[in-house]
Amino acid sequence: MYHHRYDLDTAKRTDGAGNTKSCPGSDFFGGNSVASAQANFIPLLQGELSSHPQPTTPLHRAEVTVDSLNVRNGAGQGFALVKTVQRGIVVEIHEEQSGWCRIAADRQEWVFGKYLQTVS
């Protein structure tokens, strides 16, 4: 975690100038300054955060109408089986695509919508 350096005599933030004390590992990501954080560290964090989908508000909820419904890691029968859900389970629908419904806010978990009944 980046932190700011403060002058030991004045207690003012100096970003490393003056009489400051460094800590072990202060040169990670190119240095322990605001400029180093902005140039090297913050872009890494932004890249990592943007690679994770943000949870969404569900479009609606639906109940499983068959004894066992396959959940796949994509919108289609050719995708790998992740798990199954049983009759009567109510799922949240976050996306619909060609008759398939994504039932997880933050993962690729899809079921065939023909086997769902919308509930209020």
Calculate mean pLDDT across residues 22-43: 71
Does residue 2 surpass a pLDDT of 60?
Answer: no
* Position with higher pLDDT, 44 vs 64: 64
Q: Which tokens is 104 given?
A: 């997880």
Q: Where in the chain is the domain with CATH 2.30.30.40?
A: 60-119
Q: Which tokens is 59 given?
A: 């479009």
Calculate mean pLDDT across residues 60-69: 97
Calculate mean pLDDT across residues 35-47: 83
Superfamily in which the 60-119 domain is placed by CATH: SH3 Domains (2.30.30.40)
Q: What is the pLDDT of residues 69-112, one digit of tens each?
A: 999 999 999 999 999 999 999 999 999 999 999 999 889 999 99
d(CA 74, CA 66): 20
Contact 88, 117 (CB under 8 A): no
Q: Which tokens is 114 given?
A: 């023909």
Scan for tokens 């996306």, then name that residue: 95
CA-based angle 114:106:87, to the nearest 5? 35
45: left (phi over 0), alpha (psi -120 to 50) or beta: alpha
Give this prediction's pTM: 0.55
